[in-house]
A and B are shown apart, each in its own frame.
Chain A
Amino acid sequence: MKNKTKYSKMDANLAIYLFKNKSKRNSVKVISLVLILGLCFTIIYPILSLVPIVFSSTEDLGNPNVIWIPQEFSTVSFKAAIRLVMPEGAMTMVKSILYAVGIMILQVFFSAMVGYSLARVNFWGRRIVFGMVILVFLLPRQSLLLAQYISFVHFDVLGIMNLFTKAGEINLINNPIVLVLLAVFGFGVNQSLFIFLFSQFFKNIPKELEEASLIDGCGFYRTYFRIMLPNAVPIISTVAILSFVWNYGDTYYTNYFNPNGEYMSTLLSSTFITANKDYILNALTTWYDVPVATDMAFDAVKQAGVLIFLIPLLIVYLVGQRKLVENMENSGLVG
């Protein structure tokens, strides 16, 4: 690459260097853009591909000529899904949301308390308690399912139940109070992780805040509720979003401890099992005068159900997502 024209050798080298640099930067940009677009596509493709299926009439399903735009627009799948998984109509969804919000509030309230105390109060055995939190986080909840289940079937606190019932125990399975108890005592969905996040956050709050409030005459509780909690809004919103999403979508606790409860998530997973396929297809043909209902109609109804189920989650996500990254940065987990 020798350039012997009017440019001096140095200028030529410089030009080559700049060109190389620029092309390098541009190619990196293009490659990463392609990767980003590809990943975005992979993430939304499963959702996108549902749209033509759930909106097309059941006869069109499996028609090789129909790929993206349904020949006949129809909402039969949605109607069927609503009838199947929402026995009380919109109330079922409202109830599920209220359940998730209730558990979320309990989880946030009690995890914040435990997290604060672990981070700021140097009580006896603090390290041990912190170790317990980590231990609970590490051991998968299923491993203790059996014993927990049995303890709820024969629920009895130190013989207190003798006063209320003859058998000296009550069966708490199918009683939503179990889920409340779990959330209050720090064993809800991923709650040890929330405690950990809270304690990491409170560790980074400057000590002066606490001292100032003490000098101004606040006690322990006032310091906590008036000074520390309002300062913890970022981590509270992060935990609240995660807690809502995980509780709304939870099938583990609801399924085992309250199997008859009408939560959207459990209803979805129990209705659309393969064993139920014929029943659902029959229902389709009798309810909506659909001439043919194939296996694909089953999938269409199922996925219409998922889309309905996802609506509240997507709303929460769209509202909270921007804050999520910023807040995580302040959470103290990093660095």
Chain B
Amino acid sequence: MEKSKTAKSGTEKGRKKLSFRTMWKIHGIIFVSPFLIGFVAFFLVPLVNTIYYSLNQVGVGDQGGMTFQWNGIQNYIDLFQTEVTTTSTTMARLFTEENSTMLLSLPLIVVFSLFMALLANQKFKGRAVVRLLFFLPIILGIDVVMDMLQVTTGSANLDTGSSLLSGSYVTVFLVRTLNVPRRILYPIMNYVENIFTLISQAGVQTLVYLTALQSISPSLYEVAKMEGATAYETFWKVTIPSIMNITFFVVIYTIVDLFLRSSIAEEAYAFAFTQGKIGVGSALSVVYILNVVLVLALAALLLRKVVKKNEK
């Protein structure tokens, strides 16, 4: 910019513009560089190392370093055939349990957070207070708090709302009078009893949904009303299509969040540093990564279709 008085020919100008743009890009890269360094140091290298460890028998050398002995896929075979978790279940079972609970809670959390957001979006007196309470799960859902709120002794007036229902009149009535089969009733009751757990995992999602609902243009609802749509129709034809994109985000976020809460980390850590089997621990991590990628890819594929269908 200093020499702008002298340089005025067209080519000079073009070059200067280009170099300005290039400078801008370089500044941009400087801004991103912390993340890039972090990505290499805390993500890429650990990822490659994890895969490398998982294919080796890792030992501790004489001088405190690590020794590697090529092992092929032996670690993976061991993982699923001989190794057990800290609670003595097999790995295959651990993964099935993790995935099935996840797939069950995922739709519940998504629908429930939407439901809470719909309720909080209505106009009524004391809405501020209700919203204050509705987003409390963002705080109460933190792992430590949830762990600490759990009660070690199961006394009736001490628990967090669980086992209120199992002996209640409602259950007895449903089973005895209406003959609802227990096999269907009990899993449902289980979720109802643990509703606080469900709510505690839906804090951020509710917040996101509420903002999405508020950003839907009121004129859309007005049009729907003028055209004589019922509330039910309005919900399915206006509200749902408008929040389909955000549902995509919510579902992915929920899956990631649920995976974050899983106990795999402790298992891998226990393998590596309690039992000294770094190779097996790494193999577990690799299997876990594959599992996460698979679930996410499936969810993304399914959702893409639904989102597209709704956008038309």
Contact = CB atoms under 8 A, between A and B. Distances in A.
Interface of A: 28-29, 32-33, 35-36, 39-40, 42-47, 49-50, 53, 62, 67, 110, 113-114, 116-118, 120-124, 126, 129, 132-133, 135-151, 154, 167, 182, 184-187, 193, 195, 220-221, 224, 242, 245-246, 249, 251-252, 256, 265, 268-269, 272, 274, 277, 294-296, 298-299, 302-303, 305-306, 309-310, 313-314, 317-318, 321-322, 324-325, 328-329, 331, 333-335
Given A43-B140, A53-B158, A333 B292 contact: no
5 contacts: A117-B28, A146-B268, A147-B50, A185-B34, A251-B144
Given A221-B27, A265-B144, A296 B153 contact: yes
Contact of A317 (B128, B139, B253, B272): B139
Given A185-B34, A185-B38, A256-B269, A150 B49 contact: yes
B131 A325 contact: yes
Contacts of A144: 42-43, 46-47, 50, 285
Contacts of B285: 142-147
The 10 closest A-B pairs by CB, nearest first: A185-B38, A121-B28, A142-B265, A147-B46, A249-B142, A117-B31, A186-B35, A220-B27, A123-B25, A147-B49
A280 to B, nearest CB: 11
A187 B145 contact: no
A113 B207 contact: no
A298 B212 contact: no
A295 B152 contact: yes
Contacts of B272: 146, 149
B289 A129 contact: no
Contact of A141 (B35, B260, B293): B260
A268 B262 CA distance: 20
B25 A122 contact: yes
Contacts of A33: 124
B76 interface: no
Contacts of A221: 27
Nearest to B266: A142
A187 B43 contact: yes
A328 B207 contact: yes
| Most chain B Cβ neighbours within 10 Å, of A124, A143, A277, A335 | A143
Given A33-B124, A147-B45, A324 B207 contact: yes
Contact of A313 (B128, B132, B139, B278): B139
A132 B40 CA distance: 10
| Most chain A Cβ neighbours within 10 Å, of B29, B195, B211, B260 | B211
A298 B293 CA distance: 41
B144 A167 contact: no
Given A220-B23, A325-B131, A187 B289 contact: no
Interface in B259-312: 259-260, 262, 264-265, 268-269, 272-273, 278, 281-282, 285, 288-289, 292-293, 296
A274 B150 CA distance: 12
Given A141-B260, A143-B289, A296 B215 contact: no
B135 to A, nearest CB: 6
Given A114-B35, A335-B212, A146 B269 contact: yes
A138 B50 contact: no
B185 interface: no
B131 A114 contact: no
B290 to A, nearest CB: 10
Contacts, number: 282
Contact of B208 (A35, A113, A182, A333): A333
Interface of B: 23-29, 31-32, 34-39, 41-43, 45-47, 49-50, 53, 63-66, 116, 119-120, 122, 124, 128, 130-140, 142-145, 147-149, 151-153, 155, 157-161, 195-196, 199, 204, 207-208, 210-212, 214-215, 231, 245-246, 249, 252-253, 256, 259-260, 262, 264-265, 268-269, 272-273, 278, 281-282, 285, 288-289, 292-293, 296
Contacts of A325: 131, 135, 207, 210-211, 214
Contact of A43 (B199, B278, B293): B199
Contacts of B155: 62, 296
Nearest to B300: A138
Contacts of A67: 157
A117 B38 CA distance: 16
Contact of B152 (A145, A252, A274): A274
| Most chain B Cβ neighbours within 10 Å, of A146, A245, A314, A334 | A146
Given A138-B296, A256-B269, A296-B153, A182 B145 contact: no
Contacts of B122: 32
A39 B119 contact: yes
B278 A146 contact: yes
Nearest to B46: A147
Contact of A334 (B43, B212, B252): B212
A36 B119 CA distance: 7
Contacts of B278: 146, 150
Contact of B34 (A36, A184, A272, A306): A184
A46 B149 contact: yes
Contact of A121 (B27, B199, B269, B293): B27
Contacts of A151: 41, 45-46, 49
Contacts of A113: 31-32, 34
Contacts of B289: 139, 143
